[in-house]
Amino acid sequence: MDSKSSSRRELLKGGALAVGAAAAGASVGKTALAQTPAPALPSYAVNEAPEIPVSPDVVAYGVRSHYVKSVRIQEDGRPAGRTARYTDFGLTLHIQTPLQDSVGTIQASSLHYCATTKGSFVPDIDPEKHTLLIDGLVDRPRIFTMADLRRFPSVTRFHFIECIANNADATHKNVQQSHGTCSNAEWTGVLLSTLFKECGLQDKATWFVAEGAEEVKGASTLPINKAMADVIVAYAMNGEPLRPQQGFPVRLVTPGFEGIFNTKWLRHIKAVDQYQLNMNDFGHLRRDETSAALGYTWGPKSVITFPSGSQKLPEPGWYEITGLAWSGNGAVRKVEVSTDGGQTWNEAELKGTPLPKAHTRFGYMWNWDGD
């Protein structure tokens, strides 16, 4: 019997016991259960709830409940938007998503982590004017408008993006600080392979350079075979256009590769026959061309999001230990959880079908004895 079903069975047993006790406590046999008085409903459940003022803005776009406070933070643990150690940190670089509050597998767009390496700004790009140039080793160099991109067959896929900064160190107090530079979203766009075919990619092309619109261009060099495999020229996330911080109006999504290769505010793709050292590649000081681009595949990796650093459990009893697992190489097959410091391992339940190069939520029911 595996531990998963045994814990479920115990839960069910616990439930049955509670029901039995209630019946026995009441005076007579069969109908006792029906007569157990129901707890009184709080008054707002009978239509006296306080009301949220409805403004035209709320009607048009929607806001979350003011009781929900989950927010992004800076790398140093301070609220996002206060500059920290370096001028740009906290405004644009390493803004961390609140994983400790996360459920399911995608981050809300407003909570997706952000990493922009230079400049404490977010480009404000008019999508009507923005274009993407594809040139270099192609038979038909072309400039695509956003409207052009939308006329190609689209793909919609779940993928995580993870920054190289996503690693725990001794100063981190919680999972947001240790793992908050990783997020998973539903991306929609055109496959780069589709655009390369449209432009007549030449056989001698072995690499491509992707540049963003900002001054330092956020450029990276990636292998052509990655482009032809699964790179997305994405214009939407989680059902709406990209957010400015995520690269509006168009970015690369390079599934499973290190975050820095997911060029935001994408405006130029050039097919080349040599590796080219760019600002972003240089930043990571990997001058060897294969390790610079190919060595940055993530995972497999996992993190427990609840209960996690600095959270307190109110009392002993049943809790679902939950977290995320992902791999830059494929889909997660199995996750194991240990509650005794790694002496024994228990198979966790995977929530939903694990998707390739995407976050998978796992859960493991745990009866905490209070120790």
H or E element, residue 283: helix 279-283
Q: CB under 5 to 8 A by kind: which of Mo ion, ligand MTE, none does 218 bind?
A: ligand MTE
User: Of ligand MTE, Mo ion, none, which one sits near residue 264, judging by CB under 5 to 8 A according to partner kind?
Assistant: ligand MTE
DSSP string, 14-45: HHHHHHHHHHHHSSSTTTHHHHSPPPPPPGGG
Q: Give the binding-site size for Mo ion (rule: CB under 5 A).
A: 4
Residues in touch with ligand MTE (CB under 6 A):
112-117, 161, 163, 212, 214, 218, 246, 259-260, 262-265
Nearer to ligand MTE by C-beta: 115 or 236?
115
Residue nearer to ligand MTE on the CB measure, 23 or 279: 279
Q: Quick one: what does residue 112 bind among Mo ion, ligand MTE, none, with the CB cut-off 5 to 8 Å set by partner type?
A: ligand MTE
Residue selected from 163, 182, 201, 236 as contacting Mo ion according to rule CB under 5 A: 163
When the beta carbons of 247 and 354 are compared against ligand MTE, the nearer one is 247
Cα gap 240→28, rounded to integer Å:
59
Whether 307 contacts 99, CB under 8 Å: no
Nearer to Mo ion, 260 or 335 (CB): 260
CA atoms within 13 A on the CB side of 196: 28
Q: Does 182 bind Mo ion (CB under 5 A)?
A: no
Answer whether 159's CB lies under 8 Å from 106's CB: no
Q: How far is the CB of 336 from ligand MTE (least distance, A)?
A: 28
Residue 246 Cβ vs ligand MTE, minimum distance, rounded to whole Å: 4
Q: How far is the CB of 153 from ligand MTE (least distance, A)?
A: 24
Residue 183's beta-bridge partner residues?
A: 161
Q: Tell me which DSSP letter residue 82 carries.
A: S
Name residues contacting Mo ion, limited to 258-297 (CB under 5 A): 259-260
Tokens of 214: 């900002």
Which lies closer to Mo ion via its Cβ, residue 220 or residue 327?
220
CB-wise, 117 or 297, nearer to ligand MTE? 117
Largest CA distance in the chain: 88
DSSP string, 161-225: EE-TT----TT--SHHHHH-SEEEEEEEEEEHHHHHHHHTB-TT--EEEEEESSTTTT-EEEEHH
- Which of Mo ion, ligand MTE, none binds 354 (CB below 5-8 Å, type-dependent)? none
In this chain, which residue has its C-beta nearest to Mo ion? Answer: 163
Is residue 115 close enough to count as binding Mo ion by CB under 5 A?
A: yes
SS3 content of the chain, % helix, strand, coil (to 5): 20, 25, 50
Chain residues in the site for Mo ion (CB under 5 A): 115, 163, 259-260
